[in-house]
Chains A and B, each alone.
Chain A
């Protein structure tokens, strides 16, 4: 178990390096440069000024050297200054916005897990009855409709037609409701689907028949015996779920004007803010890879039959 964890931790390093390399190369293959604004009406900079700027930002060195410098600094948490917000470093912006995204993401994930499990259990217990159809219907909607479209529908329903929640902002708990629900519906659908099918499978197994035969109440059978084993495959879903909530937050944060990392990422994309983009991608990548590792280890903790 410990060796396995260490081995996995060790593998994180080349994965992250590869990510950094791909990001770095793609960003540098981009036509257009932060030194040379091509927008109409922008003042062209004189070649001397461009050279000075390039020197100041280290853009005049050969590519491999730039990459080594970048990695060496990134390890120490230094991603340089943002090109767009010139007075602030990327780490400052990350430190300020990441907690907001993390908070939104955790709320969404918690809602997705609780709601998904509840829907899945209901669907499995009341197979082919109305609860089952409600949960399958919700799951299908959540899985197939993109979250920025869900956001539009939810805003129309719950802030325009029924003025219950604001259309955006991030000041009071009431603002949290719509972004969280939007972000949670997709993962909730997937979890509900999975829980249902794995519960249905477990319900048919022999030891459940035994549990019933020895006279246990239905509630005890479902919650103590079925759910425990049905949860195991659901745990594997959590890894991709983190990724879904992470990338989903770009759109949800943009629409609901949440001052999180995702919104900043979309803004830095259009501004060709290299340090910002690379910082965000690496942080996201590292976070997701670490989460995947945690999920894999959790899987072993949940199911003692698994040996590493």
Chain B
């Protein structure tokens, strides 16, 4: 069930330009704060912009951040974990100490800190999530490599003359992949949450680009008078988060029945 919602969301994000009835920046100052009607299915906001169209474009931001940030997290975390676990010794000690300090830092606090330093914007969100998110993946990869490198087939490959790079990329990495995929699939909703949270407090996506978190954050103070501005994006975030969580559970159960 989670999967089908995700596919739908991806399609909406891809074809936002075709699906949205109005451009997301088009404002109409004589039609502000309108409640849902036939013309504007989900109403209009404080600038008279169509809420539905803005939400359709908002899906693009969420999907982009959810999937894109995971790629960055993996690109940083996996190599560090591989190196740390494989070489051991001083490199490992240094990296694990560093990872421990990063772990002590409350994650969201650090992301907010980085964002306030870099300024709002989509690229900066990628950077902030990438900088803070790799720690978990690196830890997990390291633990996997530590147990895998003692296996006979690795020793066999080494006896055949395989260098460290070949061992890492051809033997250790593919075998450590399962738990990495599982935690990456749980990382997607976390990244989506992070973007929504950042945009909610105003250090995420720059306006006029719409993002669900930003729509909720801007309008939560008008909840009493104009509920539609806040409730629809909230539902969108809730449904997205739930489907990615279900999807993650599914991936875990499919790939590794032992993990619980």
Residues in A lying within 8 Å of B, measured CB to CB:
14-15, 18-19, 22-23, 26-27, 29-31, 140-141, 143-146, 148-149, 151-153, 155-156, 160, 167, 197, 243, 246-247, 250-251, 254-255, 266, 269-270, 272, 277, 281, 284-285, 288-289, 292
Contact = CB atoms under 8 A, between A and B. Distances in A.
B1 interface: no
B11 interface: no
A109 B193 CA distance: 22
Interface in B99-132: 100-101, 104-110, 112-114, 116-117, 119
Contacts of B241: 144-146, 149
A255 B220 contact: yes
Contact of A26 (B117, B197, B200, B220): B117
B220 A152 contact: yes
A152 B117 contact: no
Given A269-B201, A288-B106, A27 B260 contact: no
Contacts, number: 106
Contacts of B113: 23, 26-27, 277, 281
Contacts of A152: 216, 220, 223, 230-231, 234
Contacts of B216: 148-149, 152
B227 A160 contact: yes
Interface in B140-159: none
Counting chain B residues whose Cβ lies within 8 A of the other chain, the interface size class is 35 or more
A167 B109 CA distance: 26
Contact of B234 (A149, A250, A277, A289): A149
Contacts of A281: 109, 113
B196 interface: yes
28 contacts: A26-B113, A26-B114, A30-B116, A144-B241, A144-B244, A145-B238, A146-B196, A146-B237, A149-B234, A152-B231, A153-B234, A160-B227, A167-B223, A197-B260, A246-B106, A247-B108, A250-B108, A250-B112, A255-B220, A269-B112, A270-B203, A272-B116, A281-B109, A281-B113, A284-B106, A285-B104, A285-B106, A288-B104
Nearest to A270: B202
Nearest to B240: A144
Contacts of A153: 234, 238
Contacts of B260: 197
B245 interface: yes
Given A23-B113, A27-B117, A144-B189, 17 more contacts: A19-B101, A22-B105, A22-B110, A143-B245, A144-B244, A146-B241, A149-B216, A152-B234, A153-B238, A167-B224, A243-B106, A254-B201, A269-B203, A270-B202, A281-B113, A285-B104, A289-B104
Per DSSP, chain A at the interface is helix
A26 B217 CA distance: 25
A246 B249 CA distance: 27
A156 B231 contact: yes
Contacts of A292: 104
Contact of B109 (A156, A251, A284): A284
B69 to A, nearest CB: 16
Interface in B53-94: none
A160 B201 contact: no
A29 B115 CA distance: 12
A266 B116 CA distance: 11
Nearest to A289: B104
Contacts of B177: none
B174 to A, nearest CB: 30
